[in-house]
Chain A
Amino acid sequence: MQRIGVFVCHCGTNIAGTVDVKAVAEALGKENGVVYSTDYTYMCSASGQQLISEAIKEKNLTGVVVCSCSPRMHENTFRKCAERSGINPYMLEIANIREQDSWICKDMPTATAKAVALGKAAVAKVTLNAPLTAGETPVTKRALVIGGGIAGIQTALDIAEAGFPVDIVETKPTIGGKMAQLDKTFPTLDCAACILTPRMVECGQHENIRILSYSEVTQVKGFVGNFTVTIKRKARYVDETKCTGCGECTEKCPQKKVPNEFNMNLDNRHAIYIPFAQAVPKVATIDPDYCMKLKDGKCGVCSIVCQAKAIDYTAKDTFIEEKYGAVVVATGYNPIDLSKYNEFAYAESRDVVSSLEFERLMNAAGPTGGTLLRPSDGKHPKTIVFVQCVGSRCSADAEKGHEYCSKICCMYTAKHAILTRDHYPDTECYVFYIDVRTPGKNFDEFYRRAVEQYGVHYIKGMVGKVTPQADGTLDVQGSDLIMDKQVHIKADMVVLAASIEADKTARPLATMLTASMDTNDFFTEAHPKLRPVESPTAGVYLSGCCQGPKDIPDTVAQASAAASKVIGLLVKDKLKNNPCVAESNEDMCNGCSQCENVCPYGAITYIQKDFRGPNRTTVTRRVAQVNPAVCQGCGACTVTCPSGAMDLKGFTNKEIMAEVDAICR
Chain B
Amino acid sequence: MLESELAKIKDEILSVSGVNPRKCMCCGKCSGTCPSYDAMEYHPHEFVHMVETGDIEPLLTTKSLYTCLSCFACIERCPRQVEPAKLVEAVRMVVERQRGPQHLEAENVPGLIDGDMPQQAVVSAFRKYRK
A261 to chain B, nearest CB (A): 29
B68 to chain A, nearest CB (A): 14
Complex: how many Å from CA A389 to CA B29? 11
Known A-B contacts A434-B25, A481-B45; the reply to A464 vs B30 at CB < 8 A is yes
Q: How many of A's residues come within 8 Å of B, CB to CB? A: 23
Contact A479 B45 (CB under 8 A): yes
Complex: how many Å from CA A660 to CA B62? 72
Contact A486 B81 (CB under 8 A): no
Check if A398 is an interface residue, CB within 8 A of chain B: yes
**Chain B, 70-118, CB within 8 A of any chain A CB:** 73, 76-77, 79-81
Complex: how many Å from CA A460 to CA B32? 11
A299 to chain B, nearest CB (A): 49
- Contact flags A258-298 to B (C-beta < 8 A → 1, else 0): 00000000000000000000000000000000000000000
Check if B55 is an interface residue, CB within 8 A of chain A: no
Check if B23 is an interface residue, CB within 8 A of chain A: yes
Choose from B28, B73, B80 the contact partner of A461 (Cβ within 8 Å). Answer: B28
Complex: how many Å from CA A477 to CA B38? 12
Contact A398 B33 (CB under 8 A): no
B23 to chain A, nearest CB (A): 6
Complex: how many Å from CA A460 to CA B80? 17
Contact B23 A462 (CB under 8 A): no
Complex: how many Å from CA A460 to CA B26? 10
Contacts of B37 in A (CB 8 A): 479, 486
Contact A465 B32 (CB under 8 A): yes
Contact A434 B26 (CB under 8 A): yes
Name which residue of chain B comes closest to A487, CB basis.
Answer: B32
Contacts of A477 in B (CB 8 A): 32-33
Name which residue of chain A comes closest to B23, CB basis.
Answer: A395
Choose from A393, A401, A434, A464 the contact partner of B31 (Cβ within 8 Å). Answer: A464
Check if A343 is an interface residue, CB within 8 A of chain B: yes
Contact B33 A464 (CB under 8 A): yes
Contacts of B59 in A (CB 8 A): none
Contact A394 B28 (CB under 8 A): no
- Contact flags B15-54 to A (C-beta < 8 A → 1, else 0): 0000000010111111111100110000101100000000
Check if A317 is an interface residue, CB within 8 A of chain B: no
Report which residue of B23, B32, B37 has the largest number of chain A beta carbons within 10 angstroms of its beta carbon: B32
Contact A462 B81 (CB under 8 A): no
Complex: how many Å from CA A281 to CA B111? 77
Contacts of B80 in A (CB 8 A): 393-395, 398
Name which residue of chain B comes closest to A397, CB basis.
Answer: B81
Contact B43 A484 (CB under 8 A): yes
A431 to chain B, nearest CB (A): 13
Contacts of B46 in A (CB 8 A): 484
Report which residue of A395, A477, A480 has the largest number of chain B beta carbons within 10 angstroms of its beta carbon: A395
Contact B34 A486 (CB under 8 A): yes
B81 to chain A, nearest CB (A): 5
Contact B27 A462 (CB under 8 A): yes
Choose from A398, A465, A480 the contact partner of B79 (Cβ within 8 Å). Answer: A398
A399 to chain B, nearest CB (A): 10
Chain B interface helix/strand/loop/mixed: helix
Complex: how many Å from CA A434 to CA B78? 13
Name which residue of chain A comes closest to B77, CB basis.
Answer: A343
- Contact flags A395-435 to B (C-beta < 8 A → 1, else 0): 10110010000000000000000000000000000001010
Choose from B32, B73, B76, B79 the contact partner of A479 (Cβ within 8 Å). Answer: B32
A172 to chain B, nearest CB (A): 32
**Chain A, 329-349, CB within 8 A of any chain B CB:** 343
Complex: how many Å from CA A393 to CA B25? 9
Contacts of B76 in A (CB 8 A): 343
Check if A463 is an interface residue, CB within 8 A of chain B: yes
Contact B79 A463 (CB under 8 A): no
Contacts of A480 in B (CB 8 A): 28
B35 to chain A, nearest CB (A): 9
Check if A478 is an interface residue, CB within 8 A of chain B: yes
Report which residue of A394, A460, A479, A480 has the largest number of chain B beta carbons within 10 angstroms of its beta carbon: A479
Name which residue of chain A comes closest to B24, CB basis.
Answer: A395
Complex: how many Å from CA A462 to CA B78? 10
A338 to chain B, nearest CB (A): 14
Contacts of B38 in A (CB 8 A): 486
Complex: how many Å from CA A258 to CA B29? 38
Choose from B25, B26, B34 the contact partner of A464 (Cβ within 8 Å). Answer: B34
**Chain A, 466-494, CB within 8 A of any chain B CB:** 477-481, 484, 486
Contact A401 B32 (CB under 8 A): no
Contacts of A481 in B (CB 8 A): 26, 28, 31, 45
Contacts of A462 in B (CB 8 A): 27-29, 32
Name which residue of chain B comes closest to A344, CB basis.
Answer: B77
Complex: how many Å from CA A464 to CA B43? 13
Contact A395 B81 (CB under 8 A): yes
Choose from A343, A401, A460 the contact partner of B33 (Cβ within 8 Å). Answer: A343
Contact B73 A464 (CB under 8 A): yes
Complex: how many Å from CA A461 to CA B34? 13
Contact A398 B81 (CB under 8 A): yes
Contact A461 B32 (CB under 8 A): yes
Contact A486 B32 (CB under 8 A): yes
Choose from B23, B32, B79 the contact partner of A389 (Cβ within 8 Å). Answer: B79
Complex: how many Å from CA A462 to CA B33? 9
Complex: how many Å from CA A463 to CA B43? 15
Complex: how many Å from CA A394 to CA B34? 19
Contact A463 B29 (CB under 8 A): yes
* Shortest beta-carbon contacts, A-B, top 4: A464-B33, A464-B32, A462-B29, A479-B32
| Extra A-B contacts (5), CB below 8 Å, given A479-B31, A480-B28, A484-B46 | A389-B79, A464-B31, A479-B37, A479-B45, A481-B31
**Residues of chain A whose beta carbon lies under 8 Å from any beta carbon of chain B:** 343, 389, 393-395, 397-398, 401, 432, 434, 460-465, 477-481, 484, 486
In the complex, 29 of the A-B residue pairs with CB atoms within 8 angstroms, ordered by the A residue number, are A343-B76, A389-B79, A393-B79, A393-B80, A394-B80, A395-B81, A397-B81, A398-B79, A434-B26, A461-B27, A461-B32, A464-B30, A464-B32, A464-B34, A464-B73, A464-B77, A465-B32, A465-B73, A477-B32, A479-B29, A479-B30, A479-B43, A479-B45, A480-B28, A481-B26, A481-B45, A486-B31, A486-B32, A486-B43
